[in-house]
Each structure stands twice: as C-alpha cells, then as structure tokens.
Amino acid sequence: MSKERVNFGSKLGMVLATAGSAVGLGNVWRFPYMTGQNGGAVFIMGYIGCVVLLGLPCMMSEFIIGRHGAANTGRAYGKMGTHSLWRLVGCMSVLTGFLITGYYAVVSGWCLQYIFSSAFGELNGNPTYITEYFKDFSSAPLQPVIWTVAILAMTHFVIIHGVRSGIERASKIMMPLLFILLLVVVVGSCMLPGAGRGIEFLFRPDFSKLDSNMFLAAMGQSFYSLSIGMGCICTFASYFSRQANLMKSAVNIVLIDSLIAILAGLMIFPAAFSVGVNPDSGPSLIFITLPNVFREAFASMPILGTIIATGFYILLSLAALTSLISLHEVSTAFFYEELHTTRKKAATIVTVSCCIMGAFCSLSIGGRDWLMIGGKSLFDVFDFVTGQIFLPIVGFLTCLFLGWVVPRKTVKDEFTNWGTLRSTLFGVYMVLIRYVCPVCIVAIFLNQLGVI
C-alpha cells in the first residue's frame, strides 16, 4: 500500500524543523562543557572546521537519501541501494533513533522539572545542597519517570498532528522562542562583573591546547550536534520538496546550529567565570554547576536570578523537545509505513515503548542492581551503544554507500536538482564523502573505544 507523501509547507518551516532537530541538549549543554574541557577558542575553531568538512557533507548525504526515497529511513536506504542489505543500514539508523528517544527523553524530563525547581526557588542552597538535590531527584523512583512520560506526551501531541500542522508549526513557534530566550540569558550573563574573562576564553585561541584528542572530540561533537546517523535528518528530508535546494538548506541549518552553540557558550562562560567556576564539569554542568552559578552570580538580585535561571531551563526544554520530536518522527514514520497502520497508531506504539524504555533508563540511574549491565546503568549502556557504536557505524556505511555504491549520476541529480542548480561543489562533496569522512569516522570510533 503506498501512502500519499506530505511535504513541509514552506522553506522556512523545513529549515526550522530540521534545525530544531539539530539544536538540542548537544548545543546548550554538551558544546559548552566540551569547549571548557578542550581549551576554549581552539576547540571552537576545530569544531567549525569539522562541521564544514564532515558535518555538512554527511548532512547532505542524509538529505540525498531521504529526499530520493521519499519514505521512512529504512525504506529510503533500500530504494537507493542495489542490494537489499542497504535497507538494513537504514533500519539500523531507525533503531538508533528509537533507542536514543528513550534515554534522551529522560534528560529532557529533568529539564522540565528544573523549570519548576528554579521558578519556585527550590535550588536556593549551598553547592552541597544542589548536588544532593540533583542526586536525590534523578535517582528517585517516581518523579523523573513522570517527567519523562510528560515530555514524551508533549512530543506525541505534536507528532499526531502530522508533519505540517504538528512538526512544522511547532518548530515555527518554538525555534524563535528559544532564540529570544537565549539572547535574554546571554545578555544577563554578559552583564555580570568579570564576564569579560569568559568571553575571552571563548574567543581568544590558545594554540598550545591544540592536540589530536581535541580534534577527535570536535568531530564527535559535530556529528552529535547535527543529529547525524540517527535517521532524523533522513526522515525530515523525505518531506522536502523536489525544488528544495539541499546544499543551501544544509548550510542554513549548520549555521543556525553553530550560532546557537556559540551563543550557549556566551551564556554559560561569562556567568561561570564571573563566579570563578570552570565550566568543564561534564554532564553535571547543567544540573549542578549552573544552578550554583546562577545563584551566586545574581546573589544581589535574586529575582533577576530566578527569572534568568527559569528562562534557561525553559529554553533547554524547548531545545530538547524539538530534538525529541525529530527522534520520535523517525520511528513513527517507520511504523506508519511498514505496518500499514494510521499515523496515530504508529505514534502511539512509539510513545508507549519509549515511555517504558525511558522509565527503565531513569530507574537505572539510582544504581538498582537489576538494571545494571556489566557494571553500567542501563542509561549509560543506551548512551554508549547508540552514540559510540551504532552512530559511527551508520555514519561510516552511509558515506561508503553514497560515495562508492550508489551511481554517481543519481547522487549528482539529487545534489543539483536534476541539473537545475550549479554543481561546482559536487566534486568537493564526492571527495569528502568518499575519503575524508569515512577515515575521520573510523578515527572517532577508535578513539571513543580507547584504541587510539
């Protein structure tokens, strides 16, 4: 049974929805702490290089596969491939997206809880109190599970309204709101005494910090931040029209994503430096370090502090929600088309299974024995398996697929909209996708596994 395919209704909607997928916790939380750990401005320069040389071509590849296939990611790979095994790569990408939805929803749920925690002044206390607050909350049996279900319910609500009136409309509201909130918090943060040192850390490169680990970290971050290898970009591209200029859209999305990451740095570093905290504390940055930073930085203006902190968690939740919507859509589109069911039923299957997966991931954080695998919590196992194993494998195979397997003409036709757009960059794209990207992905993969 073939179903009528919908498209995004406007170019703006298409770019904002896809940028919404890319802009997420990776920009607001992971990028700043990676920058903190890897020497500030030099990391940013390395990151921009990776985005241009790796992120952009990989995003183009997913665009090409998705739009060509005009189907869910599993089927889209199958339609382009000469062998049915390629369909498996697409399915693996869907599976990666599906598994990530479960644990990404847990962290997104924490962001929702922290909106209330900061608005009601529950985070006012000394650093030990804030650390304990986070530990108690995240390992509790009920509360974080409820928030996980809540954010999945919001996602479900958007998804069942379809591509145009659900995803596209929500993105057109949420993305500008996120941007405005970000600017407000950036201004608040940059006005603090001593903020200049944070700005300097972000923009003045210290070349002594350059090393290979920094590059590998920057490469990994560029893939994560652009949502590559998890079916999201490919699924959204399957809703692009035949007239959409893929290269231009990819450039716009990459620019929005990088701009938001840098603004997030401008929000976090000045505040952190102003109170003398180095923002390199890893995953605990947003839930432990930042509440401390906000409280201390705005000690003399507690109301402004509360407003800024609440605004920050709202923007974090918005960023997480737009990414979650794209993750959910990967599996919804898959079940919708493969099970020949209605969109609502497909979405329900995804939501219910992600709630169950999310609940187990959340419960595993409290160190419950029955949810530990090889000494790691289920949450960490999901993170590891999807981000460090599946994602690089899918990314690598996708590059080989477009670079070496799919006929060059098919790729070029999509790249240039059947010869109607200029093809100057096509040669460069092919070189990147055939040689540079696969080699770099293998390097990231081995580095993450600790082999190099």
Of 15, 22, 174, 254, the residue at the interface with ligand PHE (CB under 6 A) is 22
Q: Would you count residue 235 as binding ligand PHE (CB under 6 A)?
A: no
Q: What is the DSSP letter of 298?
A: T
At 343, the amino acid letter reads R
Closer residue to ligand PHE, CB minimum distance, 19 or 346: 19
What gap in Å lies between CA 336 and CA 338, rounded to an integer? 6
Of 117, 138, 225, 235, the residue at the interface with ligand PHE (CB under 6 A) is 225
Q: Would you count residue 26 as binding ligand PHE (CB under 6 A)?
A: yes
Number of residues that bind ligand PHE (CB under 6 A): 15
Closer residue to ligand PHE, CB minimum distance, 27 or 252: 27
Q: Residue for token digits 């971050």?
A: 221
Closer residue to ligand PHE, CB minimum distance, 306 or 386: 386
Of 106, 232, 277, 355, the residue at the interface with ligand PHE (CB under 6 A) is 232
Closer residue to ligand PHE, CB minimum distance, 252 or 292: 252
Measured from the CB of residue 223, what is the shortest distance to ligand PHE in angstroms? 9
Q: What is the DSSP letter of 376?
A: E
Closer residue to ligand PHE, CB minimum distance, 25 or 354: 25
Candidates 25-33, 80-88, 303-311, 375-383; binding stretch for ligand PHE (CB under 6 A): 25-33
Phi-psi map region of 445: left, alpha, beta (phi>0 left; psi -120 to 50 alpha): alpha
What gap in Å lies between CA 140 and CA 348, rounded to an integer? 26
Closer residue to ligand PHE, CB minimum distance, 192 or 320: 320
Tell which positions 277-336 bind ligand PHE, by CB under 6 A: 323, 326-327
Of 24, 39, 74, 403, the residue at the interface with ligand PHE (CB under 6 A) is 24
User: Rounded to an integer, what is the distance from CA 237 to the centroid of its chain?
Assistant: 16
* Contacting residues for 105 by C-beta, under 8 A, at least 6 apart: 148, 151, 152, 155, 324, 354, 358
Three-state secondary-structure class, residue 81: coil
Q: Would you count residue 264 as binding ligand PHE (CB under 6 A)?
A: no
What gap in Å lies between CA 450 and CA 452, rounded to an integer? 6
Measured from the CB of residue 110, what is the shortest distance to ligand PHE in angstroms? 14
Q: Would you count residue 55 as binding ligand PHE (CB under 6 A)?
A: no
Measured from the CB of residue 141, what is the shortest distance to ligand PHE in angstroms? 27
N residues, the chain: 452
Tell which positions 98-137 bind ligand PHE, by CB under 6 A: 100
What gap in Å lies between CA 414 and CA 409, rounded to an integer? 9
Closer residue to ligand PHE, CB minimum distance, 298 or 396: 396
Residues 283, 273 contacting (CB under 8 angstroms): no
Measured from the CB of residue 316, what is the shortest distance to ligand PHE in angstroms? 10
Q: Would you count residue 36 as binding ligand PHE (CB under 6 A)?
A: no
Phi-psi map region of 39: left, alpha, beta (phi>0 left; psi -120 to 50 alpha): left
Closer residue to ligand PHE, CB minimum distance, 382 or 415: 382
Residues 198, 272 contacting (CB under 8 angstroms): yes
Closer residue to ligand PHE, CB minimum distance, 151 or 371: 151
Candidates 194-202, 222-230, 413-421, 443-451; binding stretch for ligand PHE (CB under 6 A): 222-230
DSSP-derived pairing of the beta strands 376-377 and 372-373? antiparallel
What gap in Å lies between CA 151 and CA 174, rounded to an integer? 15
* Contacting residues for 422 by C-beta, under 8 A, at least 6 apart: 416
Q: Would you count residue 238 as binding ligand PHE (CB under 6 A)?
A: no
Measured from the CB of residue 16, what is the shortest distance to ligand PHE in angstroms? 14
Closer residue to ligand PHE, CB minimum distance, 133 or 382: 382
What gap in Å lies between CA 413 and CA 353, rounded to an integer? 39
Residues 238, 63 contacting (CB under 8 angstroms): no
Candidates 21-29, 356-364, 404-412, 436-444; binding stretch for ligand PHE (CB under 6 A): 21-29
Q: Would you count residue 35 as binding ligand PHE (CB under 6 A)?
A: no
Three-state secondary-structure class, residue 69: helix
Binding stretches for ligand PHE (CB under 6 A): 21-22, 24-27, 100, 224-225, 227, 230, 232, 323, 326-327
